[in-house]
Structures are given as structure tokens and as C-alpha cells.
A and B are shown apart, each in its own frame.
Chain A
Amino acid sequence: MADEAEPVTELRLGRFHGGLRLEPNKTLSTELPLKSAPIPPRLVHPLNQHAGASSEPMVEIGERVLRGQPISSPTGFISAPVHAGSSGTVVAIETHPVAHPSGLDALCVVVETDGEDEAYAGYPAIPEFATLSPIALRARVRDCGVVGLGGAAFPTAVKLNAAGALNALILNGAECEPYISCDDTLLRFRAHDIASGARIMLHALEVGRCLVAIEDDKPAACEALAGAVARLGDPRIEVVRVPAIYPEGGERQLITVLTGEEVPADGLPADIGYLVHNVGTAAWVARAILAGEALHSRIVTVTGRGVVQPQNLEVRIGTPIADVVAACGGYTEHARHLLMGGAMMGFSLPSDDIPIIKKTNCLVIGTAEDIAPRGPARACIRCGECARACPAQLLPQQLYWHARADDFDKADAMNLFDCIECGCCDLVCPSHIPLTRYFRYAKSQIWHNERDRVKAERAKRRHDQREARLEEARAAKRRRLAARTRALEAGTARETGRKAAIDEIMQRAQEKKDAGDGGGEA
């Protein structure tokens, strides 16, 4: 790749604050080529696999579904449908354990597969994507359930909507977290999809430049993508090698590295003219448009010393983890821990009955020695190491005091919500304080209090309206009563008047009679 068409650009790179150079541990899973995992007998599709509102089931028990057929519909703007991972019959719509740190159950559509893997034909392929309007492209991406595959699973269609003019689209292939190699694998084996997806995204966003960031410890990935871009001959797409520092894959950190600019704390990348999508998302955008396929599978890294053959597999969404591990030769006898996500930001799962979802990038099966014993937390010695490591330029030590004291307003005022929970501060803390856990706790408490506040406000409004209505009803009743009393009084007055008149007439008549009688006598 030394010819002139080489699209690998050498940019003058910026540097984000903090971060750590970590042992990547990626070669464990990158020795074997990409393989497809077998279709399991049962697929469990959670209805909320994305950021935003959950989706609603739109199939019935007993219905036959095809691969890529929608089985649920989005319930809001920020929401996404879920599609069947393979063809089969819906056997249940029920709660099932899902991949979530809470370990709670959520509503899932369970499909018993029939092994035929018949494809759904509801989305025609659009090879000439440039003939479509950006609006139509977005609608297709939304219908196909494409969400950010880097881990946050934010609905892609929403993020393919540039509010203003953009400088560049950034595709994130800087897979910085130790152990994870699914984007690296995708870049090496599906580079053409990524490059095509980049062109579609450029068209949808009406942008003229795309930067694909790949860490410099993945030369094969870089070369594969540069080759694919050269074959497409699109000068708008540039491949950029970036140094491997954790957490460079963070959206804001990557922008700083590539452009030297910083996204404002209360702003979005689009505010400074950039939009970041994961390379996996770009590949699925290409498949949704060019092949008419809905998101029904993804590449998952299965790694760690607790699995017989660590590797990257293309797995159907909804496949139980147990089936994925079995496809990798099963557990070794030393397997002790199951994590979803990487070594830094992943969370442990209580069982392997949980299905793979759209945001599952990695499964780490660790042995007892892998989880390095860490002493109990000791007192903070105010060394400031955490602030030096923090890629968001926060003061973890201060945030920790406030979170520990449940002083959430102060933590919020110190930009707690800019924390990306990368875990760098935890790792450098000499006192082994689980800082990130405190921040997660504080964030979720703030959300919880906010929900309570909104609910209380609504209750108060309804109570006040009811009081006002009752008061109005009472006032109306009083007015009615008063009117009736007046009417009665007026009636009595008239009656008395008439009676008096009658009496008077009677009296006059009597007097006349008396007078007549008297006259007769006289």
C-alpha cells in the first residue's frame, strides 16, 4: 500500500487530557478468521436493546417470522424496532433475564428457529443509493433497526440528521478498550461494507469529508480499509492512524485527537461540526440500504482465558450466550467470571442464559486469576492521580466526596454528567476506591430524584386543578341556592300582596253587605 492512491492520511493529531496506555490483550481473539456462529434453537429478542424508548411487540404467539422481519415497532422518535435473528415461530412474549447491570428481567420475544433461515423480503435493496433523498435513507435506516454498534446503541437514523453544516463525518474504529476486537475484525474482513456505508452516510448527511480513525496497533485493519477505499476510489474518505490510548474511542476524546477541538461540556459534537459513528454502524447502514437487510446479527468478540477458543463470531441478535460460548468450544475448567463489554467498562452477568443484543460487542470469560484481587477501599489520600487520568477533565476526587455524602446537587454542579464512566480513575487510585461506581450511583440517583420531582409536580397540578374545580362547583351551588331563596322570597311577597288584596275586597264586600242589610232594615 505504498502507491499514490493510499488514502491513509497523516494528520497533525491532537491529544486529549488524561487517559491510560493499557495492555491491549487483543491478540487472544484475533488469530482466527471471522466465522458465523450457528443458529441456536431459540432466539430471545429483548424489546429494548437501544437507547431511548422501548419498542412494542407487533407479532403474535404462534406466528411464523422470517430472518430480518420486524417483530416490534418503535414507540417514539428515539427508539428502534427489533428484527428476528432467523426464521422460525414466535413461542413466547414474556419477561426474560437480559444483559443489564441490574440483573432484572425485561420483555422479550422468543422465537423457536426452524433452521431454514428464510430471509424477509420486505425491504428491497437500493444499489443506487444516491438517487434517494437523505430523508428516505434515514427512514430506511430506521426501519432496519440500525443503532450505534459501538456500545451506546443510540438509534442511528436520529444521528444521521445533521442540524447544521458539518465539517466532517468521523467513523470510529479506535477500539481502545482491552480485550475487544470486534471492530478490528470487521475492518479486516468487511472493509468494503464500511467504506460503502461511509459513502451512504456522507450522502445522507450531505457532508464532503469522512475520517475513519483506526488505532496504530491495528495495521492489518488499517491496510484492509485503505484498500477498500482505494477500490471505491472515493477521495472524500480518509483513513487516519491514531495512537492507542484508552479511552480514545470515546466520542469527545476522538474528536479532540482528530481535530484538536473540544466539544463543549453542555453541547454535542454536531455543535462544532462533527458527527461520530462507529464503523460497525456504517457497515450495517450499507447492508440496510444496498442489500435491504435489517440489523439481525453483529460481530461479537468472545475472549478471555476461560473459553477454549477465543475468537470473533458473527452472532444472530438474540442468541443466548451459552450457545455463543459453545460455538467457541465451551468453557475451560478455570472459567469463573462472565463479563459483557470489555475489561474496563463491562459488567458481570449472573448467567449465560442471557441473549446477545445489538450493543453486545464483547464477552470476556475470565478465570479466577484474571480478576486481579484488589484490596478493600481505603481512605482517599488526595493524591490527585484520578484528576490527572480523567479524560473528561473532571475532578473525580471532589465528585467522590459529594457522591459519598449524597450531595447530588454539588456533584451535578461539578459536571458529574460529563463522566463517561471509563474507569481510568478507579485504575489509578492508590486507595482502590471504586470511584466509577460512586459516579454511576450518583447519576442514577439524580435521574431517580428528577423522575420523582416530575411526578410530584404533576400530582400537585392535578390536585390544584381538582381543588379549583370543586371550589367552582361549590360556588355554583351557592349561587343557585341564593337565586332560589330570592325567588322564594319574591314569591312569598307576591302571595302576601294578593292575600291582602283579597282580604280588602272581602272586607269591602262585607261592609257593603252590612250597609245594605242595615238600609233594608232601615
Chain B
Amino acid sequence: MITAILTVTGLAAIFGLLLGYTAVRFRTQGDPVADQIESLLPQTQCGQCSYAGCRPYAEAIAAGEAEINRCPPGGESGIRALADLLDREFVPLDPEAGEEKPRAVAVIDEDRCIGCTLCIQACPVDAILGTGKHMHTVIADECTGCDLCLPPCPVDCIDMVPIGTDIETWTWPKPADSQPPGPAARLSGAA
């Protein structure tokens, strides 16, 4: 009896020590789940999810504090990707967070800009260039279309212009099953 108790206690002590050691030795840095979630977010840094950026939102989802449907720029496909990753049910976009809009880029009307630098301070990705009492301009390639520069502008000189599709960014439409054959064409004799 005593032997059995001692053996089990001894084993428990050994495994406990082993586990304790590995927990310290092989500790994961950061939060891998939050990293994975973050990589699915569009990095717009718009804060429409009510968190201060994509990283805080990713951490909140990882901690189970936030729903996965609060990211309007990610849209439906983003929610689906998150649902897949976290093995959760798909939920439609929370209307409280906003609605999915076509990608846009901020454009400053340079005639009206008074050079107040408020938009520069608001831009989460440093995409606005300018200094006090001088005209500001948006680096279009870096703009994420987050809308955060709109509210602080005292003269309302910033417009969000939707990004159209050009030949470089155009994608082939998905064929519908019932669609008649396309023009890559069945000329008679080709068969």
C-alpha cells in the first residue's frame, strides 16, 4: 500500500517537474492565435471594430472578447476566413460596426487645404505628407482608405474616391455554370 502511494506520488512529482520545466523552456513568445487572426485582417487600421487598430482587435478575438464580424473592410470574405480559422459559425457583418464599401483612397482638395496638420496626426499609416501652413497631400499607394482623416478636417477638403478597376487589377469573373460558352470560342472546325 505504502509502496503504491509512494510510487504514484513520485511519478506525479517527476512529471510535474518535467511539465514545469518545459513550460518555462519552450514558452511561446506572443500570442500565435492573435498573430494568425491579425494576418487575416485587412490592416486598414480604421478602428471601425471599436478597437484601436487591427492588432488590438485580433487580440480581443483571440481572448474571446470580440465577435468576428466587426471588420467592415474585411467584409464577408474576411469573416468567412476568420470563421474557418477559428472553427466558428459564419455571422453576417455587424451593422453597428459599419458596412462593406468598395475600396477607396483619400484625396485632398489642395485648393481648400489650410495646412492644419490634423489629418496627418489622424492617419494611422503615415500616408499624408505636409507640414503646418503648407498644403498636404495623400500618398495614394499607402492610403488604406480608413476614413480617419475625414472627421478632424476643419475645412472638409478630403474626399474618399473609390478605386476603380484598371487593366492591371482586373480579374476574370467567375463563370456561372449555366452561362453559355465564352468567346474563347468554339469556331466550327476547331473540333
Contact = CB atoms under 8 A, between A and B. Distances in A.
Contacts of B53: 463, 467
Interface stretch (B25-33, B90-98, B121-129): B121-129
B178 A462 contact: no
B165 interface: yes
In this complex, the member of B127, B173, B181, B182 whose beta carbon has the largest number of chain A beta carbons within 10 angstroms is B181
A437 B190 contact: no
Interface residues of B, number: 39
Nearest to B176: A377
Interface string B135-175: 00000001010000000000000000000011101111111
Nearest to B127: A462
Contacts of A456: 41-43
B181 A462 contact: no
A371 to B, nearest CB: 5
Nearest to A28: B189
Given A459-B125, A466-B126, A441 B185 contact: no
Contact of B184 (A344, A366, A457, A459): A344
B188 to A, nearest CB: 5
B180 A441 contact: no
Among A364, A366, A374, A437, the one with the most B-chain Cβ atoms within 10 Å of its Cβ is: A437
A289 to B, nearest CB: 32
Contact of B172 (A337, A426, A441, A451): A441
A331 to B, nearest CB: 16
User: Which applies to chain A's interface (DSSP): helix, strand, loop or mixed?
Assistant: mixed
Contacts of A178: 187, 189-190
A4 B190 CA distance: 39
B3 interface: no
Interface string B112-131: 00000000000011110000
Interface of B: 38, 41-45, 53-54, 124-127, 142, 144, 165-167, 169-175, 177-191
9 contacts: A102-B167, A178-B189, A179-B187, A372-B187, A374-B180, A427-B186, A448-B171, A455-B43, A466-B124
Given A376-B177, A377-B175, A463-B125, 19 more contacts: A22-B191, A23-B191, A25-B190, A100-B167, A179-B187, A304-B187, A337-B183, A343-B185, A344-B184, A366-B187, A369-B188, A437-B172, A441-B175, A443-B172, A444-B171, A459-B43, A460-B38, A463-B45, A466-B124
